[in-house]
Amino acid sequence: SYVADGDALRGTLVLMIGLAAAFGGGPVTAAVLHRVDHGGPIEQAGNVLRGGAWIGAMERTAIFVTLAAGWPHGLAIVLAMKGLGRYPELKQPGAAERFIIGSFTSVLWAIAWAGVLWALLN
C-alpha cells in the first residue's frame, strides 16, 4: 500500500542519513585533526587517545539517534560519558586539545546530519 511504501522510504532515508552521520564524520574529524597537528603535543596525543575512530563512530551514532528521536537531552549524556571515559588520559600533553577539537568536529557533524534529516522529514 501507499502508506507502507512511505514508511519504507522514510526508514531507508533515516538509515542512510544515520550512516552518513556515523561514518562520514571519521574522515572529516581526521582531516581537521591533521590540519591542526604540527608534530607537537596535539599530534603525539593521538598515541594516547586510542580507539578514537570507534569511539567517534559510536558517539556520532548516539548523537544522531537522540536527536532523530527528538530527545536532545541525550546529547548531554553522550558527551558526559565520553568525557568521563577519557578523563584519565586528558592529562597527557596535547590530549585535552585533541579531545576537544575531535569531539567538537565529530559532534557538529552528527548534529548537521540530524538537521538534514529533520529538514527532509518536516
At 12-70, the pLDDT tens digits run 999 999 999 999 999 999 888 888 877 666 566 566 667 778 899 999 999 999 999 99
Q: Which residues have C-beta within 8 Å of that of residue 18, sequence separation ≥ 6?
A: 61, 64, 65, 68, 113, 117
Residue 3 is predicted with a pLDDT of 54
Task: Tell me the pTM.
Answer: 0.85
**Residue 9: C-alpha distances to residues 3, 5, 17, 70, 98 (Å):** 10, 6, 12, 20, 39
- Percent of the chain exceeding pLDDT 70 equals 86
Mean pLDDT of 95-117: 93
pLDDT at position 42: 57
- State the greatest distance between any 2 C-alpha atoms of the chain, in Å, as a whole number: 60
